[in-house]
Amino acid sequence: MKKNIFGFSLLLALIGLVSVPSAYAYFTTYADAEGEKEITLGNDTDIEEEVNDLTKHIVIANNEDSQPVYIRVKVFWVKGTKVDNVYINGENWSEGSDGFWYYSEIVDPGQKTTELTASIQTKGDKKPDFNVVVVSESTPVIYENNSPRPMDWDLN
């Protein structure tokens, strides 16, 4: 009986010794930190929207403290009874196959895009309540040999 207890105790001790390195690794690699630091990722743009009648006028501004960026916009609306369709167009804007509208020019800090308009088409003469949502994305311009690389939205 004492032999079994001794063997069982020895087994428990061996199991304990085997697990010590992993527990020791946890305590030596775990770190705690306090405080806060704001992180700026390099580009900061704002959407400027104005609605006249059934047309939304959209301009994207690149803020002064940003860097040169490429910009794309997606326009959403509820398809149904109140809004039948939205026609989108603008100088230097082109529609991509993914539903985004891409601005063809680099937007430098402090500059804005040309206007992109979203015109709402409705059934009947009555002006409906509507909601057209605009989402803007920007990506920094990457330079190689002092020349900007074409925009690559897959890097985001």
Give pLDDT tens digits for 23-33. Answer: 556 555 555 66
- Please report, as a single letter, which amino acid is at residue 126: K
Q: How many Å apart are CA 1 and CA 52, to the nearest integer?
A: 93
CA–CA gap between residue 131 and residue 88 (Å, rounded): 15
The closest alpha carbon to 70, from 142, 143, 139, 155, belongs to 139
> What is the value of pTM for the model shown?
0.66
The answer to whether the CB of 119 falls within 8 A of the CB of 55 is: yes
- Give the domain ranges of the chain: 45-155
Contact 107, 49 (CB under 8 A): no
| Residue 42 confidence (pLDDT) | 58
Which tens digit of pLDDT belongs to each residue from 81-109?
566 667 888 999 999 999 899 999 999 99
45-155 under CATH 2.60.40, yes or no: yes
Residue 140 has pLDDT above 80, yes or no: yes
